Amino acid sequence: MKIKIIALGKIKETFLKEGINEFLKRLIPYTSIEIIELSPIEIKDENLTSRILEQEGEKILACIKPDSYVITLEIQGKQLSSEDFAKKIDEIILTGKNELVFIIGSSCGLSQSISQRADFKLSFSKMTFLHQFARLILIEQIYRAFKILKNESYHK
């Protein structure tokens, strides 16, 4: 199965880039992973936030195949342990889906259309993180999930 991460915004901090690249290298034996960075639309008027999120949503939807399994990262999503996250990935693999897509929105979140497209909504924590951290955390958790599924040491 191919994994795709669609994220709004670029990673600017060197330490985050290095961490992401390290886990991408570690994932090579387990899965193919692609990161698509989309430019967020600057919100100059708070009253236009929902309209701008919908425009961003259209850009995101254009990157998703109709039969892809989509997991959005959302504050109101379900929190999973690393073991449960691994089980979720395994369940998706067993369905025969060819592509698993994770979506990380901008700092303003995701459009309603993207949230509705989600097959599963995931939350990392009740805590607030910089949305750039979400990418590193997600890639590390994907790596951890594959290590768990292969019964390989790392995850403890």
Find all residues with CB under 8 Å of 141, minimum gap 6, and list them. 82, 85
d(CA 51, CA 40): 13
Domains, the chain, ordered by start: 2-149 (3.40.1280.10)
**pLDDT score recorded for residue 156:** 59
By DSSP bridging, strand 2-8 and strand 99-104 are parallel
**Could you give the 3-state DSSP secondary structure of residue 145?**
helix
Q: Dihedral through CA 75, CA 78, CA 84, CA 89, nearest 10? A: -80
Task: Note the pTM of the prediction, 2 decimals.
Answer: 0.94
Find all residues with CB under 8 Å of 2, minimum gap 6, and list them. 31, 32, 33, 34, 98, 99, 100
Each residue's pLDDT tens digit, 35-74? 999 988 777 777 777 888 888 999 999 999 999 999 999 9
d(CA 115, CA 104): 11
- Weakly modelled stretches of the chain, pLDDT under 70: 155-156
Given 3-state DSSP classes, what are the helix, strand and coil percentages for the chain, each rounded to the nearest 5?
45, 20, 35
**pLDDT score recorded for residue 148:** 95
* Region of 4 on the Ramachandran plot (φ > 0 left; ψ -120 to 50 alpha; else beta): beta
Amino acid letter, 21:
N
**pLDDT score recorded for residue 48:** 76
